[in-house]
Structure 1
Amino acid sequence: MSSLALCLCLLGPFSPLAQAQEAAQESVSERALARLVERASEVSRLHAIVVAEQGEIVLEHRLAGPASDRPVNIKSLSKTVLAALVGAAIEEKVIEGVDQPIVELLGSRVPDDADPRIDQITVEHLLTLQAGLERTSGHNYGAWVASSDWVADALSRPFVARPGDEMLYSTGSSHLLSAALTEASGESTLALARRLLGDPLGITIPPWPQDPQGIYFGGNDMVLSPLALIRLGELYRLDGVIDGVRVLPKAWVEASWQPHGTSRWTGDSYGYGWFITTLAGERVYYGRGFGGQGLYVIPARELTVAITADPTPSPDGARFNQERLHALIETLLEER
């Protein structure tokens, strides 16, 4: 067996590094980047698109709105960032691990009259959106954010599935993670994010909205620049180590990119804050946010792509179709 084959064997088939080394590397061409810019200009409401190959920025293109170094509202792409923060908190031993019951972390924030079954909900169930509680997203979102206690409201929702079964896209589940991080660390989620992610990644993490109790919104309305998103994507592409510093636990990326549930809307699999799909024959991992926010990592091609867009609702009420961003990624992968 060759030394490369032995290395890949030891890394395992799901290691991002192994996936990258197994593929025949072809640098992204100028033609592919030009075609990407052309196609992106045809998608209304996009603000910026940044492409990194092997960690180097090969495209930084502004279409409208803020430049790529300016923090913008990334909407539910915040869930991907929050999942990274949970991993960093586990590496820091703020949280024991993904199997820890959420009630242990939330303590007195758990309502006295909550369904006893919430004792079964773990950190992993919240990361994979499989808590089993009624969703706070969709038609329930307005009432949830209008409540006086977002944590108590999310925990008081009726169970509609068993924990660990169905994926139920719910920002309330992500917000419970933010509350758990705050309780476990004694720091705000903002302070923790700056210390555990901002500092090692060398990125700016501005404040974002808080709930009535001062808990930073978990899973929505974070503000990061496209260039900061690239650094986050690179952290995952490099298996949790950036600039020689381990930020995420060993094997965290592999666990994050394992399918746990399936989106009922897209059919794509979901791991720890990341969706999983195949585009142009390549395995692709992505986070997304309302209105056209996207972060894509394609390990086999050593590519990371950040896309931002106008986060405000469209005047005609139409929802942004994620397939339009997928098509841009396919353009990048298919062009030679």
Structure 2
Amino acid sequence: MLAVAAACHAQAGEASPPPLGQAGLERLDAQASRLERLHALVVAEQGEIRFERAYGGPGVDQPANIKSLSKTVLAALVGAAIQAGIIDSPDRPVAELLGSRVPAGADPRVREITVGHLLSLQAGLERTSGANYGSWVASPDWVRDALSRPFVDEPGGRMLYSTGSSHLLSAALTRAGGESTLALARRLLGEPLDIAIPAWPRDPQGVYFGGNDMQLSPRALVRIGELYRLDGVIDGTRVLPEGWVEASWQPRGRSPWTGDGYGYGWFVTELAGEAAYYGRGFGGQALYVIPGRGLTVAITSDPEPPSPGGQFQQTLHALVEGMLGAP
């Protein structure tokens, strides 16, 4: 069992959320067992693991490629870096942190892009994901390539899902902190959360990939989810700045595919009548936090192509909803 410090946010006289029933957990297991792509599932309620099972793949306590769920973890790392004084604010222009990494001929609007814009995928630059992903990762300088792309919206405009935006955050953290993103992640997240963070791929300049291919176990993901459920404080240590979770879960843009809101690395939706916040990655990687029920749910799946498409995310939503709705 994984114990996590209890939340202290309930108001006096406020009714406790209904606990998960055995029927809900059995329904969850039955539905999950039918999903061939699923590898592992862990459910924590009020900080205690209520259910965990490996259906395939590495298992619940071994690192797995979480694909673009890395964006949610990177957002946590940015918050931890602000708490540690490495970055002063999400309003900081990222060009000031990147310094000489900004191309000399970049559009002047590059200097208007803030850390917050990158966290919420509102940089305004042409996406490096989708059809542009292959050429971007094949480029000799991922930072230069991302910053040299044309603007298709203004900084702070619509959500443009782009791993290049997340990678700019990794490069900014590296320069601001004077140590690698991996070292920062291990020090600012790994140590206080007591989780292992293995090395993951780097770009041609040695910057750890921002927003993709991190390796974390489902149990480690639960700890990150719990950090947010507990408003940035875990085991008595404040890891994220006060107010960071609220800011992260404030919708700033909207997914053009699902219509869900998007904050700082988290999608915002509603499941079974409950406010729910989630991160996701290619192939069925997911982390859910449902504060009203005291729940954190981590899911890992086969990360290899072909992609099951966005419909699989809806399947995972239904999985969680079935657990919530069962008596």
Measured against the shorter chain, the TM-score band is: over 0.9
Question: How far off its partner does 1:198 sit?
Answer: 0.2
C-alpha spacing 1:245/1:151, structure 2 compared with 1 (3 Å):
same
Structure 2 CA distance, aligned partners of 1:241 and 1:212? 35
**Residue 66 of structure 2 aligns with which residue?**
74
Following TM superposition, the consecutive aligned residue runs of length 4 or more in structure 1 with deviations greater than 6 angstroms are none
Instruction: Give CA deviations for 1:133-176 in whole Å, capped at 9, x if unaligned.
Output: 00000000000000000000000000000000110000000000
**Residue 322 of structure 1 aligns with which residue?**
313
**Residue 99 of structure 1 aligns with which residue?**
91
C-alpha spacing 1:138/1:18, structure 2 compared with 1 (3 Å):
farther
Give runs of aligned pairs for residues 196-235 of structure 1, distance below 5 A: 196-235=188-227
Structure 1 CA distance, aligned partners of 2:185 and 2:32? 31
Partner secondary structure for residue 17 of structure 1? coil
Q: Calculate percent identity across the aligned residue pairs.
A: 69
* TM-score for the superposition, normalised by structure 2: 0.96
Q: Contact 2:170–2:207 (CA<8 Å) still a contact in 1?
A: yes
Partner secondary structure for residue 207 of structure 1? coil
5+ residue gaps, structure 2, are: 1-6
Is 1:32 aligned to residue 16 of structure 2? Answer: no
Instruction: Give CA deviations for 1:88-127 in whole Å, capped at 9, x if unaligned.
Output: 0000010010000001000010011111110100000000
The amino acid of 1:41's aligned partner reads S
Name whichever of 17-26 and 278-287 sits farther off: 17-26
RMSD (Å) for aligned C-alpha atoms: 1.5
Q: Specify which of 160, 166, 184 is matched with residue 176 of structure 2.
A: 184
The amino acid of 1:333's aligned partner reads L
**Residue 133 of structure 2 aligns with which residue?**
141
Give runs of aligned pairs for residues 53-68 of structure 1, distance below 5 A: 53-68=45-60
C-alpha spacing 1:56/1:296, structure 2 compared with 1 (3 Å):
same
Structure 2 CA distance, aligned partners of 1:217 and 1:19? 41
**When the two structures are aligned, how many residues end up with a matched partner?**
320
Question: How far off its partner does 1:17 sit?
Answer: 3.0
Structure 2 CA distance, aligned partners of 1:150 and 1:39? 40
Instruction: Give CA deviations for 1:249-280 in whole Å, capped at 9, x if unaligned.
Output: 00000000001000000100000000000010
C-alpha spacing 1:22/1:276, structure 2 compared with 1 (3 Å):
farther
Q: Contact 1:16–1:254 (CA<8 Å) still a contact in 2?
A: no
5+ residue gaps, structure 1, are: 1-14
Q: Specify which of 151, 166, 169 is matched with residue 159 of structure 1.
A: 151
* TM-score for the superposition, normalised by structure 1: 0.93
Partner secondary structure for residue 60 of structure 1? strand
Instruction: Give CA deviations for 1:47-88 in whole Å, capped at 9, x if unaligned.
Output: 000000010001011111111000000000000000000000
Structure 1 CA distance, aligned partners of 2:59 and 2:164? 31
